[in-house]
Structure 1
């Protein structure tokens, strides 16, 4: 018959103690047989029985306390003596061994005492068996040796930083103890290890950085800094907790990068400016990578980059000015040529400079907006300087003209022309006087189109498309109208030919008329030139045709833009002269072989002095002397007389005789200034119409914002235009606040 008497505490605990002692021997590698299933069940059942007996024989509370005491006893007898006096790697290895054993002990004992976890601990809201076991190690072992352990770890980490091989697995296992004893959080790891690691790392890298900045060049310093950061990241991956990574890297970044940044960047023989000067792209890319890690760390780098690009740009500007001055002195007394080689070279050099440093921004500085801004500011600085009296806007327009016209100095393939034009348009973003570029470009476009000097319609349309995209439809509307006008003019000429055939009209000359829309083209001076009869007949015929086909439109004849092919029957041989309409009208006066005075020429041509002087100079004083002047000389006087040079000859059968060039710069600048006044007026009125009442400062800001795509308006000019609009009663000042304006409907 089964014994139903309850098991007494000491009797049951005696049985448990034998099991615990056996477990300790196994942990200490002493001779002992492993637990059998029967032994395991006996121990488990003993605890079960002692916890399920009716009071006062339910020993759950006493067993819970003796469970805790089992760990304390083992630690006091075996664990602490093994760790006493240990240091360095020996201490860490022993700690890892003891921690591993302790976890095994916790696992086995918590199985034996499992019934406590299931009922007693839950009902009493106590720490579970696993936690009690771990807390025992923390309180009795860890707290005893944590300082020695931490010191040992930090020494080994510093040894590794100095290049020694260390046992990383050991460090990882030791730090696992810190993390596990946090009981679900990292407080223990952070307080007892990480904070000390960061203090030690700060001291280590402070010492190293001070040494490197004295001994190393900027590139060598950066290589060491980058290696340090890489190795610290690897260190985290090898044995530190991932949460340590940002804190540790921040320490390294501050000590190695932030502290000595300006000293590093400004190193005399190897700093940032020197790296830029020597095209050390690899080192600059490293500099970007390093200082991109630090908030505002790239600001000084971008500043040095901007100053360097500015300096390189100003060298080009100054060189162009010197070249222009030297050329001016060399060509003193000679007629000036438009679009000189030095001007072409200037724009080409600016394009090459932009290509070079745009590549720096994309390749070295990872397309950073900060460096794009620095590049933009640098180019704005020197691209808006005057070069030998000419604005960059004018030089860029001349450069484009040279690319696009037949016989330009730049001999490039179609692809190269397209590519270069695209780059010029990109540069336009840095020019504050884009309206000035537009007007110069329009003047030159007009000449290319009217004198059939454009090398390709496709190129003309391509650059207009790019300009439209960059500067808006308003920027290119007139130019697009000019290109379209030429096509319409060709159609109109064809209709004229058909009309003449149908009307049976004949002419002694071949006549081609180009009809243009006034609003699209630059303004030209119309003169009432007295044409020879042959030309008059042609003009009358075309007027008859045009007025019959087009209503409500008036023709204005611009003879200064006309071209003539005139056959000259000279003694040696006939020569075809390619000249302007005005030159042709003048030469035809000498068909009868008579000698004419200056005043007679002027009277018969019905032209002003300026025009007559230019015409006579081109025909009697320049390279091709078709007329002979009395007395001979290189300048025209109003007392001179002229006759046809029948002895004139040339090795060519066709000779082009240009008129002396006219400096159109002044006219273009005047036209642009006038257009700017209109644009400011329109912007002010547009703004005030929508806002009704506005303060002066706000009005000026809104006007600038509206107009800056075409030009940067001068504040004084805006103020002047506002005063003018007040006088014209578009606006009025507020009676109480003179700084406030009202719109007058």
Structure 2
């Protein structure tokens, strides 16, 4: 068999050149005839044969080189000339057509020369046929035309920003060339287009912002800014690469928001403060959305929010203080007001709750519940909630508000659901109060009064607020109050046991007699007065002692000032039931045996101190219900006065309650709280020193403040005094070398 004659380079390339020329005619639209399977196989086989011939007829290297030159010739003769004839949008369209044709040419030629890819290129680690085609386009076309293309695209984008409709698909197609010629990297796109886009974007919005900031209100400016940001995001979605998004938006944010934030927020009549004042929640939400894009952009907004809330709160404090002082001036000399607080002070707490509701909704809805705005709200409320209101601290006002809410006949006429909701908000408000221990003491005294005098409107509400207080302030905060509620329930059981004991032992009293036995440690401290009781009451006391001392070694201390009596008074018109304190009842019963009595005689018979005797007589002779007649007839109780029963007294009510004049308990509460604070500071100092052994003065003070700040803000001078006290008591000692260093003495 004769050996096959090798194909010479020029012979074989001449055949391949014919195929390449045909492909070019098809790409240029000069021929519609496509390659059939036979033609394709003929071209492929020619390359295969020329690459597999034995040396020196293996023409792989020459064919690889001529493959590249085929592209270069086509680009030089056809592509570049065509592109140089056009500008702007027409140039971009022609460029995309040429790019598509080039990729088609690469696809076909790489098929013809496929054998090079499989063996020669792999063996010599050369660029693939596809890459050679891309490199040719990049070096010969892209590098030549990229500036003109970039400028044309940027002009189209600016026209779109000015409101014109443009061919977005064209831009996307051209930018795909910037990406694809990077051959897997983004360098070409970023260097040759993106960098210039960002510069143009900054320049465009710099001009726009300077124009808008002068002519537009804050809401109008923000609307435009938000629309611009949305438009730029849309550009990324439509034709820019996704990696451009953050960079592009950053430029817009810088020019529209960062550069003008202060001017925008402080715009007169339309800035952040004005939006808060006018309740423009939608605009405030937009402000939050915009400035959260900017590094630390929300901090000025939060500061303005804090100032606004603080001003609103201080306005309330001022209004209530002025109203209370005005009322005080008008009512000078009319006697003390009720202990539940004046209507102004009650309204203050209600208004603060409403203020908290309003601005908490701002934080949640407008400011997306972010911690920064919660912090601003907290600081604002702490600022004005700890101010004195008409001479009364907020802790006392809140305790009075609770008392008014929870007692029978309070001015707050609300449904059970509304009361629960108000209690929940009130306890949350307590978080802003620095003197929580003061609130605790005021609240505990009022709770005791409600429980002892059966004034509480609902046991469920009482337990509900204690549960909330426990969650907010800890178990120790409510332990004594919970003990009071439990104590009263046990006292009722004890009373039932007493009644059962009387029935079993066939004991009877001339009056209905009820005793409430309480545990001293839970309840506020009360003075135990020695009251000379009427015989009917003495019999009851002695009988209860007999019952209680059977199998019980605890000592009973009787607090008559806390008792309540029901007396039937036979007046000339008709009998009326009187509800009084034990002291008042004992006083009236003296008039069963005497027509009239002097101040001194009553005091002697009852064994009362002057203050209690004066208060008792004032409630019966000078208050609303004048059960006793006084000589001389005036509203001042004197030691020389004489009293008699007012037999002509009458009332439309069949039962009337005659309260004692209220005692101002504020001074006593403050004294008790100050005393407790000294103990708390001592305990915190000892606890800290016991664990640390030695500590500098400043560190000790800071740790003590940190431990106690949950309940109250300790005074630094007081802490210093307590340290000195503990040194004297030999719990601590000063270091010999450093007087500012303390040592714990075990």
Give TM-score scaled by structure 1 length: 0.98
Cα drift, residue 32 of structure 1: 4.9
Shift of 1:593: 2.5
Secondary structure of 1:548's aligned partner: coil
Any conservation in 2 of the 1:482–1:520 contact (CA below 8 Å)? yes
- Of 49-58 and 300-309, deviating more is 49-58
Whether 1:180 aligns to 2:176 is: no
Q: For residues 78-133 of structure 1, give each alpha carbon's deviation from its aligned partner in whole angstroms, at most 9, with x where no partner exists.
A: 00110114211000000000000001111111111111111211222211111111
Which residue number corresponds to residue 709 of structure 2? 708
Tell me the CA shift for residue 572 of structure 1: 2.4
The 10-residue stretch of structure 1 (118-127 or 512-521) with the greater mean CA deviation from structure 2 = 118-127
Q: Deviations over 1:297-323 (max 9, x none)?
A: 100011111111001111111111011
Give, in whole Å, the separation in 1 of the partners of 2:574 and 2:60: 136
Post-superposition offset of 1:585: 1.2
Cα distance in structure 2, aligned partners of 1:352 and 1:321: 18
**Distance in structure 2 (CA, Å) of the matches to 1:32 and 1:373:** 74
Q: 1:385 aligns with which of 387, 404, 408?
A: 387
1:738 and 2:739 correspond: yes
Deviations 1:278-334 (A, max 9, x none): 111111111111111122110001111111100111111111101111111122111
Secondary structure class of the residue paired with 1:578 = strand
Cα distance in 2 for partners of 1:520, 1:42 equals 108
Q: Partners of 2:657 and 2:108 in 1: how far apart?
A: 111
Does the 8 Å contact 1:564/1:579 carry over to 2?
yes
Question: In the aligned structure 2, how far is the partner of 1:2 from the partner of 1:582?
Answer: 145
2:311 matches 1:311: yes
| Contact 1:150 1:193 (8 Å CA) reproduced | yes
For residue 356 of structure 1, what is the aligned residue in structure 2? 358
Q: Could you tell me whether the CA contact under 8 Å between 1:467 and 1:475 is conserved in 2?
A: yes
Give the CA RMSD over aligned residues: 1.2
CA distance in 1, matches of 2:222, 2:313: 29
Looking at structure 1, the residues matched to 484 and 330 of structure 2 have their Cα atoms a distance apart, in angstroms, of: 38
Q: Which residue in the other structure is 2:23 paired with?
A: 23
Question: Aligned residue for 2:11?
Answer: 11
Instruction: Measure how far apart 1:701 and its partner are.
Output: 2.0
Distance 1:237 1:654 in 2: 81
* Residue of structure 2 equivalent to 1:402: 404
Mapping 1:139-158, distance limit 5 Å? 139-158=139-158
Q: Counterpart in 1 of 2:368?
A: 366
- Secondary structure of the structure 1 residue equivalent to 2:17: helix
2:301 matches 1:330: no
Contact 1:614–1:660 (CA<8 Å) still a contact in 2?
yes
Provide the residue aligned with 1:212 in structure 2: 212
Helix, strand or coil for the counterpart of 1:575?
strand
Distance 1:580 1:668 in 2: 23
With over 3 angstroms needed to count, the CA separation of the structure-2 counterparts of 1:263 and 1:345, relative to structure 1, is same
**1:596 Cα shift?**
2.1
- CA drift of 1:2 comes to 5.8
Match of 1:688 in 2: 689
Show the 5 A alignment for 1:465-484.
465-484=467-486
Gaps of 5+ in 2: none
- Deviation for aligned residue 1:3: 6.1
1:533 aligns with 2:535: yes
Within 2, Cα distance between the matches of 1:712 and 1:18?
97
Which of 488, 492, 495 aligns to 2:494? It is: 492
- Residue 549 of structure 1: CA displacement? 3.6
In the TM superposition, what whole-angstrom CA distance separates every residue of 1:29-50 from its partner, at most 9, and x where no partner exists? 0035211222111111111111
1:53 aligned residue: 53
Shift of 1:705: 2.0
Residues 385-464 of structure 1 correspond to what in structure 2 (within 5 A)?
Answer: 385-464=387-466
> Is 1:34 matched with 2:34?
yes
Q: State the match for 1:559 in structure 2.
A: 560
Q: How many Å separate the matches in 1 of 2:574 and 2:33?
A: 131
Q: Which residue is 2:519 aligned to?
A: 517
Which residue is 1:642 aligned to?
643
Q: Match for residue 574 of structure 2?
A: 573
Alignment partners' CA distance in 1, 2:33 and 2:386:
94
Per-residue deviation, 1:649: 2.2
Counterpart in the other structure of 2:552 = 550
Match in the other structure for 1:320: 320
Equivalent-residue separation in structure 2 for 1:138 and 1:645 (angstroms): 117
Aligned equivalents of 1:125 and 1:70: distance in 2? 21
SS of 1:535's equivalent? helix
Question: Deviation digits for residues 590-614 of structure 1, max 9, x if unmatched?
Answer: 2122432222221221111111111
Matches within 5 A, 1:204-283: 204-283=204-283
Rounded Cα–Cα distance in structure 2 between residues aligned with 1:152 and 1:644 = 109
Q: Deviations over 1:157-180 (max 9, x none)?
A: 111111111111110110010000
Q: How many angstroms does 1:188 deviate by?
A: 0.6
SS of the residue 1:564 aligns to: strand
- d(CA) in 2 for partners of 1:432, 1:193: 60
What is the rounded CA distance, in whole Å, between the counterparts of 2:644 and 2:35 in structure 1? 136
Mapped to 1, the partners of 2:48 and 2:653 lie a distance apart of: 126
2:431 partner SS: helix
Contact 1:22 1:32 in 2 (8 A): no
Q: 1:201: which partner in 2?
A: 201
d(CA) in 1 for partners of 2:215 and 2:2? 89
1:651-677 deviations in whole A, cap 9, x for unaligned? 222222111111111111111111111
Deviation by residue 1:227-257 (Cα, 9 ceiling, x = unmatched): 1111111101111111011110111111111
- Deviations, residues 265-290 of structure 1 (Å, cap 9, x unaligned): 11101111111111111111111111
Give 1:502's match in structure 2, choosing from 501, 504, 508. Answer: 504
Whole-Å Cα distance in 2 between the matches of residues 571 and 172 of structure 1?
Answer: 106
- Structure 2 SS opposite 1:566: strand
Do the aligned residues in 2 keep the contact of 1:593 with 1:644 (CA within 8 Å)? no
Aligned length: 744
Q: Which runs of structure 2 are paired with 1:553-702 in the superposition (5 Å)?
A: 553-702=554-703
- Tell me the distance in 1 between the aligned counterparts of 2:491 and 2:572: 39
Once the two structures are superposed, what CA deviation does each residue of 1:324-346 show, in whole Å capped at 9, x if it has no partner? Answer: 11111122111222222111111
| Unaligned segments of structure 1, at least 5 residues | none
Matches of 2:620 and 2:4, distance apart in 1: 144
Secondary structure in structure 2 of the residue aligned to 1:47: helix
Aligned to 2:549, what secondary structure does the other structure show?
helix
Q: Structure 2: how far apart are the matches of 1:220 and 1:56?
A: 80
1:297–1:632 Cα change, 3 Å: same
Alpha-carbon distance in structure 2 between the residues aligned to 1:31 and 1:20: 13
